[in-house]
Structure 1
Amino acid sequence: MTVSNKNLLVRPATEADAGPLIGVLAEAFHEGPVADWLVPDPTDRRTVYYRYFTDAFHHGLAHGQVYTTGDQTAVAIWYPRLERTSTDTGGRLEVLEHIAGAYAPKFVLLEEMFDAFHPDEPHHYLAYLAVDPVQQSRGIGAALLADYHRRLDDLGLPTYLEATNMRNRRLYLRLGYTAGPTIVLPTGGPIIWRMWRGAPTSSGRTPFPRTLPRRRPL
C-alpha cells in the first residue's frame, strides 16, 4: 500500500526501483568506520559495495519488505524475525567470496558477528536504512520509518537494528530506540551499537532483551 507520511510519499519498492535504490545504498554506506574497516581502498570499495548492495536489495525483495520514497532518495530493508532463523553459512560464504573477493573474510566476520548477537525475541529487523547523501539531514530517513513503526506498534512488535556510527545512533535514540550492549569488531574494527525499539506497553516499551551470543555449530 502507498502512504503519504508528513508530506513524504512512502511506498513498497519493486524490481523496477533496483537501479536507483542500489545506488542509494552503495553511496550512503560508502563512508564511515565500518566501510573503512571492510574495504580500506575507496576505489575497490565502490565496486564491492555496489555488488554487495545489489545482493542485499534483491534479497530484501525476495525475503523481506523493502520501502522507498516517491523520488527514490531513500530505502529501508526490513525482515520479520518472528522465530529463530538459521543461516546457510556455506552458501553465504560462496556469495560473499563472489561479491568481495579478497575482502570477503571481513564481510563474513561482520555478518557472523551480527548473527551471533541477534535477539531471539520475535521482532522486525531493520537491516538497512539509506538516504541519498545529498538529501541527508532533512528528516527523510525518520519519515520513511514512521509508518512502519506505527504498524509494528499496532501489532505489538518490537524492532531491532545495528547502528554503525554515532550519528545514526543519535537518530535512532530520537525515534524511540534504546541502546543495548555493543559489538566490537575484531582485528581493529569499530564499535557497533545494537538498538531496540520495544513493543508498546501500558508503562512505556519493552526493554532491550537479554541476548546470549550464539555458539557456532561444530
Structure 2
Amino acid sequence: MTDISTGVTVRQATRGDTQGLISVLAEAFFDGPVADWLVPDPNDRRTVYRRYFELALSHGLDNGHVDTTADLSAVAIWYPRPEPSPKGSLEHPAALEAATGVYAPKFALLDAVFEAYHPGEPHHYLAYVAVNPEQQNRGIGAALLSHHHRQLDAIDMPAYLEASNLRNRELYVRLGYRAGPPMILPTTGPTIWRMWRGQPNAARPEGFPASGLLPRRSAR
C-alpha cells in the first residue's frame, strides 16, 4: 500500500529482504544512549549489532510481522501479544549469547527489564522500527507505522513500544501514543519511555495499562 501523503509504499518483508534490512537496523540503532550502554566500544558495536539484528530480524520473520518499504529503506518488527503473553523460547538465551558474546549479560538484562514492565493487556508490540540514516526525517518511519496502525484500528487493537530518546518519544506522541512511567536501566543506564496507543474506539481515554512491576492505579 502506498501512503499518498509521502509516496512511501509499504509491504510485508520476506526472507529475501534479510541482508538489506539487517543493515538498516544496525545502522539506525548504532548511535544513541542505549547503544552506548549495551556496547560501549564502537568498533565492537558494529560487529555485534549486525549479528544481533540478524537474530532479531529472523525471529520477527518467524514469529511476528515485519513491514518494510519498496526500496528497503525502513523496517518495523511487530509482535501480536495476546493475553496471557507468550513465553520466550528456551533457545533464545543461547542464541543471544552467541550473537553478542561478552556483551550478552546487558542484552539479556535489557530483554528482562522490557519484559518485566510489559503491559498485560492484549496489544501489538513494536519491538523495532528503523529507517536508513541517509533517508531519515522524510516521514518514512511515520508512514511505515501508520500503515500498521490502520490495521490495528480496524480491529480496535492497542499498540505498545519503548522509546529510547526524547526525539522518538515526541514522534510517537504525534502518532497517537501516550507516555507511561519511564524505566531507567540499571548500572547507569539510560531512561526508556513506555508508550501506549490505546483503542481508537474507546468511549473515554484509557489509563496506562498495568505491568508485572507497576500495579494499576485506580481512576480518579
Normalised by the length of structure 2, the TM-score is: 0.92
Q: Which runs of 5+ in 2 are unaligned?
A: 215-220
Amino acid at match of 2:3: N
User: Which residue in the other structure is 1:41 paired with?
Assistant: 41
User: Which residue in the other structure is 1:59 paired with?
Assistant: 59
Tell me if 1:86 matches 2:84.
no
Deviation string 1:77-113 (CA, Å, 9 cap, x unpaired) is 000001222224x532211210111111000100000
Judged with a 3 Å threshold, the aligned counterparts in structure 2 of structure 1 residues 200 and 17 are, in CA distance, closer, same or farther, namely same
Q: Which range moved further: 5-14 or 90-99?
A: 90-99
User: Which residue in the other structure is 1:4 paired with?
Assistant: 2
Partners of 1:176 and 1:56 lie apart in 2 by 26
User: Which residue in the other structure is 2:103 paired with?
Assistant: 103
Shift in Å at residue 167 of structure 1? 1.0
CA contact (8 A) 1:160 1:197 kept: yes
Partners of 1:72 and 1:85 lie apart in 2 by 29
3-state DSSP class of the match of 1:36?
helix
3-state DSSP class of the match of 2:75?
strand
Amino acid at match of 1:4: T
Q: Which range moved further: 90-99 or 56-65?
A: 90-99
3-state DSSP class of the match of 1:170?
helix
3-state DSSP class of the match of 2:10?
strand
Deviation string 1:109-144 (CA, Å, 9 cap, x unpaired) is 000000101011000000000000011111100001
Shift in Å at residue 203 of structure 1? 4.1
Amino acid at match of 2:103: Y
Judged with a 3 Å threshold, the aligned counterparts in structure 2 of structure 1 residues 42 and 205 are, in CA distance, closer, same or farther, namely same
Shift in Å at residue 211 of structure 1? 2.1
Amino acid at match of 1:181: P
Deviation string 1:55-87 (CA, Å, 9 cap, x unpaired) is 111111100000100110000000000122222
Deviation string 1:146-196 (CA, Å, 9 cap, x unpaired) is 121011011010000001111111110110100001111000100010000
Partners of 2:176 and 2:74 lie apart in 1 by 20
RMSD: 1.3
How many residue pairs are counted as aligned between the two chains? 211
User: Which residue in the other structure is 2:218 paired with?
Assistant: none
CA contact (8 A) 1:200 1:206 kept: no
3-state DSSP class of the match of 2:137?
coil
Partners of 1:130 and 1:138 lie apart in 2 by 13
Judged with a 3 Å threshold, the aligned counterparts in structure 2 of structure 1 residues 38 and 68 are, in CA distance, closer, same or farther, namely same
Partners of 1:143 and 1:86 lie apart in 2 by 31
3-state DSSP class of the match of 1:108?
helix
CA contact (8 A) 1:197 1:205 kept: no
Partners of 2:108 and 2:15 lie apart in 1 by 26
Amino acid at match of 2:88: T
Amino acid at match of 1:46: R
Judged with a 3 Å threshold, the aligned counterparts in structure 2 of structure 1 residues 43 and 85 are, in CA distance, closer, same or farther, namely same
User: Which residue in the other structure is 1:140 paired with?
Assistant: 140
Shift in Å at residue 20 of structure 1? 0.7
